[in-house]
Copies of this chain bind each other. A is one copy, B any other.
Amino acid sequence: MSTQDDSAALNERHRVRMERKKAIIDAKIAAADKQIGIIIVNTGNGKGKSSSGFGMAIRALGHGMKVGVVQFIKGAMATGEEQFLRRFPDEVSFHAMGEGYTWETQDRERDIVKAGEAWQQAKRFLSDPAIGMVVLDELNIALKYRYIDIETVIADLLERPAMQHVVITGRGAPAELIEIADTVTEMNVVKHAFKAGIGAQAGTEW
């Protein structure tokens, strides 16, 4: 068989395979036609949990939705996402706990007060049908340290407007949260620049 025949055969196999794939995917899409606000959880030890939440925020903004963001735990350092999203005060409401990571403060009582205040802000977003997406960044950390009661969080999440999407990030998502979530992704480390002696850098880590 000539090279040209090989190539034609390859193209034809590709066409048939893709046609079959298209039929399967089209059928799945036709079957999955529910439109409803979903809860997305990004957990695991790898990178991309928070950045994926902010990527979904700009997706929502691109579709004309309003977005509410609460950053739990993080906040001592102004992050790139905060600096950028604060440029759009009519579209994005941004609340940062503003106390750094919990190992920076070493003060459990103060962390609990701050986390409670942050949850009150989250609850305001979760009660507002004008907000199409709520990003609760690093909420899992606040839950892990029991700064916020998981039962309260779940009750407030389930009472939110029907079409509102929620993205929750942070390692160690509790089982109760995974149970009520619609989409859960675990980000796992395959390789990390930090281990090779490369510091946390503007744009990639914060």
Contacts and interface: CB of A to CB of B under 8 A. Distances in A.
Interface of A: 10-11, 14-15, 18-19, 21-22, 25, 28-29, 31-36, 38, 40-44, 46-63, 65, 79-85, 102-109, 132-133, 145, 165, 178, 181-194, 196-204, 206
A96 to B, nearest CB: 13
A54 B61 CA distance: 13
Nearest to A38: B193
Contacts of A165: 201, 203-204
B63 A83 contact: yes
A59 B42 contact: no
Complex copy number for this chain: 2
B21 A186 contact: no
A162 to B, nearest CB: 12
Contact of A79 (B15, B35, B38, B59): B59
